[in-house]
Amino acid sequence: MTLTVLEPEGLYPDTRLEQGILGPDVRILQGNAKASLAELPDSLLAEAEGLMTLRMAVPAEQVARMPKLKVVVRMGVGYDRVDRAACAARGITVCNVPDYGTQEVAEFAVLLALSLRRGLILYHETQRGPDPAPWAVLRSPLVRRQEVQTFGILGLGRIGSAAALRAKAFGYRVVFHDPAQPNGWDRALGIQRARSMEELLAQSDVLSIHCPLTRTTRGLIGERELRMLPRNAVVVNTARGPILDIDALERCLRDGHIAGAGLDVIPEEPPKDPIPSLLRAYRAREAWLEGRLVITPHIAFHSPEAWDDIRLKGAETMRDVLVEGRRTNVIPPEGD
């Protein structure tokens, strides 16, 4: 029996790689949607038994337009834009691709921390322009030796674990909090576990966020949590923007409690008016932020190799689940 898989975005010039993985009994259709599944005709969506999507959200109203749908593969780590409740109500299996970009995001998180903590961003910014800072050391609470600091990791999944190993290699004392990880995970990596998030925050000179966006993690780090960090801490977020309250971060940066921050993600991407006040100040190069903030456009995952993995592993996951009936990378419908 022939199965039909839809790739709605027309990501690739052909489907030879996918066809080779999915096999001759799978028909692959490509759409040309730019921003939403709503752009595609009912006739195309009605044929889809498998849906492979990278940028497209999968809300309930679009799920309803796919009466044959059995499997959704989100070609990335995060799955917050797939309506899992709507899929569960129909018995549709939701999967992600958790093992692409692991090295890239982990490296980028540690890179953000190091570039702030060793003053690279500070000196880069203050030496630019017609009136550079003196050719000398700048006294800044940002700059500290790594070995005297604790690198706190919130969420020790694949990326968090990879970040832990990299931070450890640079000399940080590494501590994590993740109630989902079994006892002994800390010993396997040679790091320490904090029993609560509060215990983690109290000792983190660098806080690096690596948890998924769920109902329980949305807004998880607000002003209360930021002020639990030691004074002059650095905050790094390469996970999802809504986990961190960006307005609270601005207040803590302004009054000096937080020394610096590195954000690869913000609450709404791309930003729309009214854009967050912190982003406006950053773009305006306001003096109080000089050398203290780095914002990048959700590109921590990027490398040619990571893009290859997205395509390959997305197709392999669809094959495993839709064609072979396995449970590869299945996201449970219950809980968060």
CA distance 178 to 157: 8
Residues in the chain: 336
Among candidates 36, 45, 41, 49, which has minimal Cα distance to 3? 49
Catalytic residues: 240, 269, 298
Q: What is the biggest distance separating any 2 CA atoms in the chain, rounded to whole angstroms?
A: 73
The three-point CA angle 178-182-185 to 5° equals: 80
Tell me which residue of 122, 138, 141 sits closest to 234, measured CA to CA. 141
Number of H-type helices and E-type strands within the chain = 13, 12
User: Long-range pairs for 128-131 at CB < 8 Å and ≥24 separation?
Assistant: none
Neighbours of 129 (CB within 10 A): 9
Judge contact between 282 and 289, C-beta under 8 A: yes
Task: Report the alpha-carbon distance of residue 66 to residue 57 in Å, rounded.
Answer: 14
